[in-house]
Amino acid sequence: MIVHVFETKEQAGLAAAQLFGACILSKPDTVMGLATGSTSIETYAQLIRLHREGILDFSRCTSFNLDEYVGLADDHPCSYHRFMKEQLFDRINIKNTHVPRGNAKNLKEETERYDREIQNAGGIDIQFLGIGHNGHIGFNEPDSVFSYSTQIVSLTQSTIQANLRFFDSEEDVPRQAISLGVGGIMKARKIVLVAVGEAKAKAVRAMITGDLDPQVQASILRVHPDTVILLDKQAAALL
C-alpha cells in the first residue's frame, strides 16, 4: 500500500485522475471500476478536463460502478445511475458503462449477472474507491467477515445519516443497496482510494494502521498488491 498526503483535496483528486489517465494511455481498453459520492467528483472533473483537452479518449474503455440503491429507478434523481451520467458519463466519450440495477425484479440474479459481466470484460484494471466514515468500501459495511461477491447489503444507520444530504428526508434514504463485494474489489489489478476531510481521519487511521478487521472493511486493502491511497492533510491528521 502506497500512501500520499497532499496539501489540498483538489490535489488528491487530481492525483487519482492522473493514475487513471496513465492507465488509459497505456491500455486504451481499460476496464475502470468507479464509485459515486462527494470524493469522486473532483477526480471526475479532472478526467472530463483531460478528455476535453484531447489527452484522454474513453471510447474503448468499459466501466463498472461499485453500487446502487435498491428500489431506485435508473433516472431517480438520487440514483447512482443518474449521478454517474451527470458527473461523468454524459461529459466524456465512454460508451460501455455498467451500474448495478437496483430495481431489478430478481436482485439475486442481478448480483450474479453483474459479477459475470465483470469477468466477461476481463476484470477491473483500475478501481476508484472512497471510504465511508465507518471504513466501508463500496457499500460493504462493518461485519464479522469480509464480503466476497456482489450482494444485497443493509445500510448501517451511520451510512444512512451520511447519505441523507442527497435526499429530502431520512425516510427517503433506501435501506438497502446492491454492492460489489470486497472480494470483487480485491480482484482489481490496481486500486486507487481517495479520502479527504477530517471526518474521514478515523477511518483512514483504522484502514492504514489498525488490525486487518472486517469491522473496517477497507483494512483488507493492506494485503492488495497494488493499492495507492491519496489523502489530503485533514484525512491524514491521525496517522
Question: For binding to ligand F6R (CB under 6 A), which residues are involved?
Answer: 35-39, 66-67, 130-132, 136-138
**Residues 119-125: contacts with CB within 8 Å, 24+ apart?**
121/31, 121/62, 121/64, 122/31, 123/31, 123/187, 123/188, 123/189, 124/31, 124/32, 124/33, 124/64, 124/187, 124/188, 124/189, 125/23, 125/27, 125/30, 125/31, 125/32, 125/188, 125/189, 125/190
Listed residue (109, 113, 91) closest to 99, CA to CA: 113
Nearest residue (CB) to ligand F6R, 57 versus 237: 237
Is-catalytic flag, 7?
no
User: Which residue number, 130 or 214, has a Cβ lying nearer to ligand F6R?
Assistant: 130
Would you say 27 or 205 has its CB closer to ligand F6R? 205
Q: Residue 142 CB, nearest distance to ligand F6R (Å)? A: 13
CA distance 237 to 17: 23
Q: How far is the CB of 55 from ligand F6R (least distance, A)?
A: 25
Active-site annotation holds for 120: no
CA angle 207, 163, 58 (to 5 degrees): 75
- Assess whether 211 carries a catalytic annotation: no
Are 32 and 63 contacting, i.e. CB atoms less than 8 angstroms apart?
yes
Q: For residue 141, indicate whether it is catalytic.
A: yes
65, 134, 140, 163: which is the annotated catalytic residue?
A: 134
C-alpha cell read off for 34: 468507479
Q: How far is the CB of 189 from ligand F6R (least distance, A)?
A: 19
Q: Which is nearer to ligand F6R, 38 or 149 (CB)?
A: 38
Cα–Cα distance, 78 to 164 (Å, whole number): 10
Residue 189 or 200 having the CB closest to ligand F6R: 200
Q: How far is the CB of 54 from ligand F6R (least distance, A)?
A: 29
Nearest Cα to 125, choosing from 168, 187, 177? 187
From the candidates 42, 65, 67, 163, which is the catalytic residue?
67
Least separation, in Å, of the C-beta of 199 and ligand F6R? 8
Show which residues are catalytic.
67, 134, 136, 141
